[in-house]
Every structure is written in structure tokens, then in C-alpha cells.
Structure 1
Amino acid sequence: MRCSCRQIQHIRQALRDVRTVHGVHGEFSKGGCIVDKENRSRQEERYIDFRRLFSVLKRGILWILAAAILAGAFGYVYSKQSDAPLYRTTGYMMVKAGEDQKVDSTSAQGQAYLTTLTATYASICKSQELLNTVINDLNLDMDYTALYGRISVSQLENTYIFRITVSDASSETSEAIVKDMIDKAPGILVPIVGEGRIEEVDHPYTNMQAGNAGTRKTVLKAAGTGALLMILALLLLAVLDRTVRGSADVEDALGLTMLGVLPREGGAEKTALSLPALPAGRDHRKEEPGQKTAPIVPAHVETEAVRALRTRTSWLLEQRQAGNVLMVTDAEAGGRGEDLAAALAISFARAGHRILLIDTDMHHGTLFKKLGIPDEIAADGLSAWLREEEEDWTRFVLRSKKYGIDFMPAGKASRNSAELLGSERMADLLRYASAEYDLVLCSTAAAGSSADALTLGCLTHAAILAVTHKDRRVIRSRVRGTAEQLQSLGISILGAVLTDFKADKAEVEDSGKFIYMT
């Protein structure tokens, strides 16, 4: 879009009335955009994409396996320490009628009597008097309750015999307890019952019960618990993740068109960009002594990702008849909007277009350094043109013979950059450049932290929003707030580009769209 002089004055007045700018949470008044943070937070999406959750689990399979292994190892150690081998010593005692009693053990009445008598002795075999006697005899380091829990007494079915079993970690202790109980039981229990007599049937015997019998079960339970907890943690992190994760977030949550991606730096070889320090009108077919060659930061200018981005951008500009002046800005400070603008400029130039790249970031513009331009040459740039009465704007343009792009640096830093970018001279510059070039790309300060993008956007035909891929500092609600601020001033957003795109962390819906060969 283009603004008339009256509209420009209105925008400049609105910018003077900006009270606070807190990232994209800034609230503008008196002609600006009023963005209610509370309303935006209520609009935050609450949907759950199960394909995305499955993708999270797929990528986190190593974490899940690691958690299962660690938990299983912990369960194994715990099982070994807590389940020490137990020794069980068993002794048997028989109940008989008293010597002065005449009981016919062959009769039904006699058998019933002896069976009842056996049950009586078995029930009182764990009496406090007997067990305290054993504790004192053996000097056991336990009380009655502890010893009671280690002893089991049961009557053998259809017999006059009851069984005494003692469990202990020491075979000597368990055997000593059984022997002492059998030895002391007749003298203590018979007077209590008052009938019959009891005697040892056979010598006690001891066997060992393996304490690690439940180790496998414990390990499996621990491993399963560890894996489940890791799965829940991964899913919780995915649900709570508010970063821009892929094209679904760009299109659904932000309501923007997904233009493409700018891959993360690394792995690709740096490309040397030759930028001679020549004025626009000079013949740059000759080599100049002052010519500098330096690595250009967008190392991926030759990748298919940038070519695809260029193609989609060109198609949208033609379909929407948006014009040929584009603003490229970051959603948040610290992004790679400058790299994106440079990569697009070079790609369009290689496709045969006449391109002008303008660095309008008069706060921290560093694009000239990335292009290998000396400080003294970059000082005469956009800010100088906007302040001076010089009519020949081409004097501030540098040309690249190798890549065929023209570049205007930001120049010296300026505190009133918003006013300069909203001036009539800036509008004139873009009008002149629009007529001279096939495409004019303006790299500006982050829209989420500076009013420059709001000012400049009203003088350009469309804007491209650079959004860092899966960056914790860049959350969806803030990016949406930035887009709403731009759109509220009538700035047309052509689409968004995910910068620092990490192919190895791509969402499932992007795995077949934006994974390119370098």
C-alpha cells in the first residue's frame, strides 16, 4: 500500500503519542493500535493436535528408553537391597491325650476331641508368655510384636499335629527360635490349657526362600513407570509449548500465510559476496582497489529453501498485485530478518530481477558488516539521505557486480528513526526506487521491539514477518500481537517465514514440505 502525505502526517502524530512499547505487548493510543493483552490471552488456542503429540513421542523415543532403563536399574538395585534372602525354619509338635486321660483316638468322639485340642494349642502357641520367654532366652533384639510377625502356626489337616514356622534373615536365629519354642512350649502351654500334652515330632529343618524372586517383576514395574512418566513429561511440555513450532502455528494460530523457511546456519559453506564501494552511477565493470570480499551471513542463499521462498513470494506478489516494495521485519528482536532480506535479494537477483536492498534499521543495523562493507563507506547511507537536501539518492547506493544487487546501508544511528522513516523524503525514496527496480526490499528493526516497522510499513506495499522457529523467546501470542499491530495500521502482511528452521525438529505436518537439500 501507499500513503498520502496527509496519512503520513497522521501516522507520525500517532507515533509521537506512543506511551509505552513493551515488545509486542505495547499499547498504542491516540490514532495507533490498541492491543488488549487480556483479550489476546483469551484468544490463545487450546486445541490439541494428536499428530503433533505423536510426533513429539517419536522424536523423544530415546528419552523414553533412557528413562525406562534408568528406572529399571533403580528398581533392580532397590529390589536387591530390600529383598534380602529369608530363611524359614519349621518344626512340628503333636498333641496327645494326657496320661491320666482315657481317650479312644479311634472313636469319632476321641478324634473330635483331639482335633479340637490341637487347634487350641496351635492358637495359643504365639502367646505373649511363650514368646517373651524365647526373647529373653535368646537375647533377641526385638519385642513381642516383632517376633509375633515372624511366626506362623498352623494345624495340619486331619491330624493332631501343628506346625511352627519362623522367618528371619539369619538361618541361625530362625532355627534357634523354633527350637526354643518347642522346648519351652510344653511347660508353658500345657498348664494354660489344662488338658493333654504336646511333644516334638521331628527335628526342625531350615530352607532358604530366594529374596530376589520378585526382582524381575520389580524391574519391569519400575521401567514401565519411568517410561510412562517420561511420556507424560514430553506430552506436557508439548501442550505447554507456546513457541512457533511449524506451519500449523503460522496459519492457524497466527492467521498468516506460510511463505517458507530459512534453514538454521551451519553445515553449508559460506558464500563470498563481492561488494565494491562504488556510487550507483559509476562503471562497475572494472575492478576497484577498494573492493571487499567477505562471507555473507546467509550461508544458505543457494539452497532450495531460499529458491522455494523466492518463488512463493513472487507468486503471491503477482496474485495479490501487492506492488514491488517489501518490508522484511522480525517478530522479535534477535531474529534473522536481516539474513532473510539479504538471501531473498540475492535469490531474486539471480533470477534476473533488478533488486535494491535497503537497511532501514537505524538503531542496530549491521547488514553492512555482514556484507563486508567498511564502516566509513556505510556511514553515508539512508540516514544521511533523509537528513540532507541531496536530491541524488543513487549516490548512497552500493552495487554488487557479482550478485547484481544494489544495497543502501542504514548509515549512522539515529534516535528519531521513526520520524525519519515516516518523512516525505522516505516516501519519495521508495517511490523513486519502486520505479527504478523490479523489487525493493527494506530490512528494518524488529516490529516487536521498535516502532520503526509500524512507520515504514505504511510506506511499503507489503511486509514479510520473520519468525524464529521454536525459540523460547518468541511465543505465539506475542507474534500474533505484532501481526495485529501491523494489520491495524493497514499494513499488508504477505506472509511469515520461519527462520533458523531446524529440519531435525520439524513438525509432522512440515516434514514433507520444508525439508530441502542444501
Structure 2
Amino acid sequence: MELSDYIRILRKNWVIIVVLTMLGLGAAAGYSLTRTPTYEASSTVFVSTQTGGSAAELQQGSSFTQQRINTYVGVATKPIVLNTVIADLDLGITASRLADQVGVSAPLNSTLIDIRVEDTDPVRAADISNAIAASLASVVPSLEPESADGMSPVLLTRVEDAQPALSPASPNIPLNLALGALVGLASGIGLAVLRTVLDNRVRTPRDAEQITEAPSLGAIAYDAKAKDRPLIVHADPLSPRAESFRALRTNLQFLDMGGRSSFVVTSSIPSEGKSTTTINLAIALADAGKKVALIDTDLRRPKVAEYLGIEGGAGLTDVLIGRVRVGDVMLPWGGRSLFVLPAGKIPPNPSELLGSKQMATLLGALERDFDVVLCDAPPLLPVTDAAILGRATSGAILIVAAGRTTRHQLQGASDALTTVGAKLAGFVMSMVPTRGPDSYYNGYGYGYGYGYTEYSQDTAKGKAKRGRSRRAPIASLPTTDLRDLNLDPGNTAEPRDDR
């Protein structure tokens, strides 16, 4: 992952990170405020030996106390020391409970013993610490064997008395708040990374490139009003979304398809925008002066005739079974060099018709007479129609809905084309967010800044109405060869009208 990926993760999950950080901070604050403040007091005892004044004796005594110092530390929390303290101060607790409040330690290479006591009362904490120091100073000499003169060889002297603390030692509110915020922040970042790792949806062109190993041909911005104006290139040609189709048109012209120019436009699953992408791309190509043939090869759920507002009762299926000539059902549209062949009636055997010799002959004839042939096909995963057409055409253009198509679905669609030997010309990201961490459509702001004006709904409807055509004279087709094309009816399957 690159730095930009980590930044995108943080931007995308910033709400979760902030919420968990605040929860950690709140939990730490709640814990700190509900704890009873405790105060700490500390006293120090010096351990020495009662020996002669020679240097050798002093050295020997120092070594003896350092060896015994850890033993005295352990004795400080035993009942033999604490029971006296409990009785003197009338604490009313057991020695084991008092030992939980006491911490005794000895600094390294020294003969000092530090006695720390925690209590909810600062004065009582100081009194207990001093009392333990005094009790230890009297108990330890009695435990050591007496010397020849009847004296204990060990002497404990209290060198620092405990004083009542002015502020509580616990809870440490600033430290607890810092730790709570840190734990919450780490949890938020961890959850954000986990969500990203477990997210198997294709969100960026780089994700699609890694799966398909095909180039990105363009990105179509998400438009909340896409259902109201599907033909955006015709209805609102100055919009940023229309500009994205013109960019797709430009990129398509740079593809090297071996001299051929027929493409099947498909997707992995339904509702990824393949039909609207195909139609808008066809309009954009026609606006650039290209002679375009748009064929609705979705013989299961045809949409082209509905979107373009043309008669779709007769079309491709009728041509393939030899019922009509292609010139009789192929209609010009929008006053452009765009000709549309609707799907016609829905047949019982779509895959067989699309894989027939008649379909291959039709595609060959259209490639000769048009600059570009676009076939709107069904999704790849539910049915095999698009894979069959992908082999018959020069290549397939795969529509990938950003944030909707999963990696597994895209891999399955790519494999479906590879299995039949079809070439994947490239992919187009659709429904790309224009804002937020997953935004990719950089041309969005450019369109507005360069004089974009919103067309009124009436204007758009008027343009769409003028673009519709019910039937065109046969002479308006590009060549007489196409008009006279009448395929041999080798497939006798009767279409049915079950729409």
C-alpha cells in the first residue's frame, strides 16, 4: 500500500476513529472520576552495623548489611512489624490488608529502605509509614543474634520522616486521559485498517487493473439524477458527466484492436450502468463525426429502445432468423450518424442466436460499413451471451461500478472472457464518487469551472424528444450493401414476445 492509500483509509474512516478516540477518552475520564483519591507518604530507614572503627570492620559491616537488606525489606510487610502499627494507630484492619497498602524497596547498592504507604487520608498515610519505620527499627535488631557484648550487630535509623501529601497520587487524571485517548485512537485506526482489508469491493481503477490486467478507459462520475436523464450526452452535453463520456470516446480511439472496431459492452452483474454507458458513448462517437452502429444484443432484458424512445418491436432477433432485412429495422437517431438496431422480440434461445453464423456475418457487415460498432450485452456472470459476443467482436469493454462490484465478481467476469478466448479491451469505472476519500473523477470541478450551465428540465426533455426517431428511410443508411443485407434464416427458432 502507498501513502495515498493510508491517507484514503483515514479520510474514509475518520468518523470511526474520532468516535473510538472519544469513547476511550470518556472511559478514562469516567474511570478517573469514579476512583477514590489515594495519597502516598514515604519514609526512609538507614541500616548500619555496630562494629569497631577500623576500615576493615566498616567494610565488613557494609557488606553484611547489603547482603541482609533484602531480608529486612521482606520483614517490613510481615505481621511481626505490622501488628504493632495496627495496635498503636488503632487501624482496625488485618496485617494482610495493611500490607496491600505498603510498598517497601531498597535502592541498588545502598543500605537504605524506602517505605511507601497509600491511603485515602494523607495524614494517616504519613502516620502509618512512620510507624512501620519505627516498628521495623525495633524488630530487626531483635531478630539478629547478639554480639559478644550483648548488643545487636544491626542498627536501623529513621533518616527521613513521612509528610502528608498535598495532592493525590492516584488516580493520575492527565495520564489516564492520555492513555484512554491513545487506546481509543489505536482501536479506531486498527478497525479502519481491518475494514479496508476485509472490504472486497472494487473502489478504484487500480483495484480493477490488478484484477483484470486491462487498461482503464475512463471513469463515469456518479449522478444522482442519472435515472431522470440517462442520455446525458444528448440532454446535457455541457455537464461534467457528459464530458466523461467524451473522454472515454477519446481513449477508445487509441486502442489497437487489429484494425477492427466492434466492441461488446458488458458488466459483471446487473445495474452497473452498462446500457447507459453504451448509449452515451455511441452518441459521443457520433458527435465526433463517426458512423456508429448501436446494437441491442441484450436479448433477455433489452433497454436501448426504451432509453432512446424508438420502436423496438422488430430488431436483431428478426434479422437473425431471416424474417426481415437489417435495413428495414435499423433506425437513425438524433440527426447524427448514429444507427440503432433494437433487440426485437425476446427469443427462447438468446445464447444460440448470438453465437450463430448469422450473428458473425452481421457483425462483419456492420464493421465494413461503420466506423464503430457497439453491442450492449447482458452481464457476464448470470449468462454467457456477452462472452460469446466478446469472441465475435474485436474486444469487450467491461463496466465496473465503483464500490458495488466485488473483487470476486470482477475476477469471475474477467475469467469468463478469457475462457472463451475473448479479448478484454479495457474497463470503465462507473458511478465513481465525485467527493470523499474514494473520489477519482478529477474532471468534475473542471466542468463547472469552465462554464457549465444547468439545462432546464424542459430544455432537456425537448432535446430528447427531438432526438427520437420512429422509422428512417432505408436510403439514409450509410451504404446500399448494408441495406440489402438479408441473412440466410439458418435458425428457425421462433421469437416470443414475453415482455
Return the TM-score normalized by structure 2. 0.65
Q: Secondary structure at the match of 1:445?
A: coil
> Given the alignment of the two structures, is residue 501 of structure 1 paired with residue 432 of structure 2, yes or no?
yes
Matching of residues 182-261 of structure 1 within 5 Å: 205-211=163-169, 214-235=172-193, 238=196, 242-251=200-209, 253-261=211-219
Q: Which amino acid aligns with 2:277?
A: L
CA deviations 1:132-186 (Å, max 9, x no partner) are 355577464555254354265999xx99x99865321234653674687699899
Match of 1:263 in 2: 221
Q: Which residue of 1 aligns with 2:466?
A: none
Alpha carbons 2:9, 2:196 under 8 Å: kept = no
1:70 aligns with 2:22: yes
Distance 2:171 2:117 in 1: 19
- Does 1:365 find its partner at 2:302? yes
Where structure 2 has 5 or more consecutive residues not aligned to the other structure, the ranges are 449-499
Query: Are residues 483 and 514 of structure 1, via their aligned partners in 2, closer, same or farther at CA, if it must alter by over 3 Å?
Result: farther
1:352 corresponds in structure 2 to: 289
Q: 1:314 to 1:185 in 2, by over 3 A?
A: closer
Asked if the contact 1:355/1:440 (under 8 Å) is kept, the reply is yes
Post-superposition offset of 1:467: 2.2
Aligned residue in 1 for 2:125: 174
Q: CA distance change for structure 1 residues 165 and 391 in 2, over 3 Å: closer, same or farther?
A: closer
Residue pairs, 1:445-456, within 5 angstroms: 445-456=378-389
Cα distance, 1:320–1:261 mapped onto 2, change above 3 Å: farther
| Amino acid across the alignment from 2:397 | I
Q: Which residue number corresponds to residue 421 of structure 1?
A: 354
Letter in 2 for 1:322: R
Q: Distance in 1 between matches of 2:7 and 2:130?
A: 65
Partner of 1:292: none
For residues 202 and 73 of structure 1, do their structure 2 counterparts lie closer, same or farther at Cα, with a shift above 3 Å needed? Answer: closer
Q: C-alpha offsets along residues 13-44 of structure 1, whole Å, 9 cap, x if unaligned?
A: xxxxxxxxxxxxxxxxxxxxxxxxxxxxxxxx
SS in 1 for 2:220: strand
CA separation in 1, counterparts of 2:425 and 2:377?
16
Amino acid at match of 1:342: I
CA distance in structure 2 between the partners assigned to 1:478 and 1:347 by the alignment: 30
What amino acid maps onto 1:357 in structure 2? L
C-alpha distance in 2 between matches for 1:332 and 1:89: 72
C-alpha distance 421-516 of structure 1, shift in aligned 2 (>3 A): farther
Check the 8 A contact 2:38/2:170 in 1, yes or no.
no
- For residue 340 of structure 2, what is the amino acid of its counterpart? F
Alpha-carbon distance in 2 for matches of 1:150, 1:162:
13
Partner of 2:278: 341
Identity %: 22
Give yes or no for contact 1:303–1:517 (8 Å, CA) kept in 2: no
Please give the per-residue CA displacement for 1:413-458, whole angstroms capped at 9, x wherever unaligned: 3331001112243334334444454332110011233111122233
The alignment covers a number of residue pairs equal to 432
Query: Is the alpha carbon distance of 1:385 and 1:170 closer, same or farther for their aligned partners in structure 2, counting shifts above 3 Å?
Result: farther
Equivalent position SS for 1:500: strand
Gaps of 5+ in 1: 1-48, 96-102, 275-294
Q: Provide the rounded CA distance (Å) in 2 between the counterparts of 1:460 and 1:505.
A: 38
Does the aligned pair in 1 maintain the 2:42–2:117 contact within 8 Å? yes
C-alpha RMSD over aligned residues? 5.2
* Helix, strand or coil at the partner of 2:266: strand
Change (3 A) 1:355 1:327: same
- 1:13-412 matched pairs, under 5 angstroms: 49-57=1-9, 59-60=11-12, 62=14, 66=18, 69-70=21-22, 73-74=25-26, 76-77=28-29, 80-81=32-33, 84-88=36-40, 126-132=77-83, 134-135=85-86, 138=90, 140=92, 143-144=95-96, 146-147=98-99, 149-150=101-102, 152=104, 166-171=117-122, 174=125, 177=128, 205-211=163-169, 214-235=172-193, 238=196, 242-251=200-209, 253-266=211-224, 271=229, 303-316=242-255, 320-323=258-261, 325-372=262-309, 377-387=311-321, 389-401=322-334, 405-412=338-345
The answer (yes or no) to whether the contact 1:262–1:500 under 8 Å persists in 2 is yes
Q: Could you list the per-position Cα deviations for residues 64-107 of structure 1 after superposition, in whole angstroms to 9, with x for gaps in the alignment? A: 86267336514642662586532245689999xxxxxxx9x999
- Structure 1 counterpart of 2:79, which letter? Q
User: What TM-score do you get using the length of structure 1 for normalisation?
Assistant: 0.63
Distance 1:210 1:171, change over 3 A: closer
Q: Which residue of 1 aligns with 2:371?
A: 438
Of structures 1 and 2, the one with the larger relative CO (CA 8 A, separation 6+) is: 1
The offset of 1:342, in angstroms, is 0.9
Alignment-derived partner of residue 475 in structure 2 = none
CA-CA distance at 1:253 after TM superposition: 4.4
Deviates more, 1:458-467 or 1:63-72: 63-72
Question: Is residue 296–residue 371 contact of structure 1 (8 Å, CA) maintained in 2?
Answer: no
1:469 CA displacement: 2.7
**Partner of residue 492 from structure 1, selected from 402, 423, 436:** 423
Cα separation, 1, equivalents of 2:277 and 2:354: 21
Partner Cα separation in structure 2 for residue 316 and residue 153 of structure 1: 79
CA contact (8 A) 1:132 1:144 kept: no
Equivalent pair of 2:387/2:417 in contact (CA under 8 Å)? no
